[in-house]
Amino acid sequence: ETESNEDLAKITSAGRHLLALINDILDLSKIEAGRMELSVEAVELPRLLREVAASVRPLVEKNNNTLTLDVDADVPVIRGDAMRVRQVILNLVSNATKFTERGTVRIGVARHECDGNRLELELYVADTGPGIAAEIF
């Protein structure tokens, strides 16, 4: 039964990934037409990143990669479009897995205290793949 549940979870995850790809294509059309709308809401980045990590784990492990999740303590709730943030992270992880073999893909959010009362959050996807050639820049 546990094995069946794991298989169903993987199928569900793959289905969500395919749906996200379709939504990406539709979003590109909206952006080009100047009709993109955002749904601003409270977003708990640690929870969102855990959900993304769970859904992309099979994709990351496909090339014998390891997925790590780094979340700084005390990351506050932000206001933003959770679906769009999720899309960006999924796209970056998808790109990272295409070019990384037997390496590591890291998803994370880091908290940086700045001048005065300002706080910056760094949301990132990093990998140990070959990177982009310097000539491209």
pLDDT in tens, 6-52: 888 888 888 887 887 787 788 778 777 877 787 889 999 999 999 99
Alpha-carbon distance 22 to 18, whole Å?
6
The pLDDT, as a whole number, for residue 137 is: 66
What is the identity of the amino acid at 135? E
Give the pLDDT confidence of 80-99 residue by residue, as tens digits.
999 889 988 988 998 899 88
Is the pTM higher than 0.75?
Answer: no
Cβ neighbours of residue 61 closer than 8 Å, sequence gap 6 or more: 67
State how far the Cα of 52 lies from the Cα of 93, in Å rounded to an integer. Answer: 9
Q: Count Cβ atoms below 10 Å from residue 18 Cβ, excluding itself.
A: 10
Pairing of strands 78-80, 66-71: unpaired
Mean predicted confidence (pLDDT) in 127-131: 89
> Angle at Cα 104 formed by Cα 100 and Cα 105, nearest 5°?
80
How far is Cα of residue 13 from the mean position of the Cα atoms in its chain? 13
**Phi and psi (nearest 5°) for 54?**
-65, -40
Q: Provide the Cα torsion 103, 108, 113, 114; round to 10°.
A: 80
